[in-house]
Amino acid sequence: MAPSTSSAITLNINGEKHTLPVDHRTTLLDALRERLDLTGTKKGCDQGQCGACTVLIDGRRAVSCLQLAVAAEGRVITTIEGVAEGEDLHPVQQAFLDLDGYQCGYCTPGQICSAIAVIEEHAAGWPSAATQDVRPEAEVQPLTAEEIRERMSGNLCRCGAYVSIVEAVARAAEAAQPPSGGSGDGNGATEAEAAV
């Protein structure tokens, strides 16, 4: 008897459990879009190179086109549809809206999910290739424009809205940090926004 090529799985997406039968080869992206009608997550390259399909899995960013749906069972998945708190936009969504961190909007859901994770990764002290001081005891420095560009480099914007995207991530990161007195240019712009 041939082994089964499909299974019934339960996915925890945006705080709701969804049970569905899937072929073992179905990606999380295809399950979200085609089976659950959660179309906010976009299909771009389908090869893990553009970041349009970025979602959060257990709070960490992942390109859903490379993640099999069966491997996501038991994990906490957050898509763009689940980042807002009811009618209140997530601070990253609000920053993208306020600073025009988009043009056509196709890449925006993936950009926002990545930005949420970038801010959390940075706050946790995770270094990037642009981090100046990577010693474990080093104090976490404010996100610079260079640091944001490096950390967001897995998300492409074909329209070229990168300047506004960096400004939006900087604004949201600044809002997420407790006041420290001295970060910014005195005119309401963060250090990263002023450097763009």
What is the tens place of the pLDDT at every residue in 72-98? 999 999 999 999 999 999 999 999 999
Q: How confident is the model at residue 193 (pLDDT cuts 50, 70, 90)?
A: low
Provide the total of helices (H) and of strands (E) in the chain, helices listed first: 6, 5
| Statement: residue 191 has pLDDT above 90 | no
Which token pair is 154?
A: 């897995």
pLDDT, position 189:
54
Report the distance separating Cα 65 and Cα 49, nearest Å: 10
Pick 137 or 21 by higher pLDDT. 21
Report the distance separating Cα 33 and Cα 20, nearest Å: 13
Q: What is the mean pLDDT of residues 32-61?
A: 98
pLDDT, position 27:
99
In 3D space, the residue among 156, 90, 97 whose CA is nearest the CA of residue 120 turns out to be 90
Domains in the chain, start-ordered, CATH in brackets? 6-82 (3.10.20.30), 91-195 (1.10.150.120)
Q: How confident is the model at residue 11 (pLDDT cuts 50, 70, 90)?
A: very high
- With residue 16 as reference, give the H or E element that holds it: strand 16-23
Residue type, 73: E
Are 62 and 54 in contact by the 8 Å Cβ rule? The answer is yes
Report the distance separating Cα 139 and Cα 133, nearest Å: 8
pTM of the predicted structure, to 2 decimals: 0.88
Report the distance separating Cα 179 and Cα 56, nearest Å: 27
pLDDT, position 20:
97
In 3D space, the residue among 48, 55, 90 whose CA is nearest the CA of residue 75 turns out to be 55
pLDDT, position 25:
97
Which token pair is 16?
A: 């709701």
Tens-digit pLDDT profile for residues 91-129: 999 999 999 999 999 999 999 999 999 999 999 999 999
pLDDT, position 181:
47
What is the SS3 assignment for 133-152? Answer: CCCCCCCCCCCCHHHHHHHC
| Statement: residue 58 has pLDDT above 70 | yes
Report the distance separating Cα 172 and Cα 145, nearest Å: 13
Report the distance separating Cα 76 and Cα 59, nearest Å: 8
* Bridge partner residues of 16 (DSSP): 13
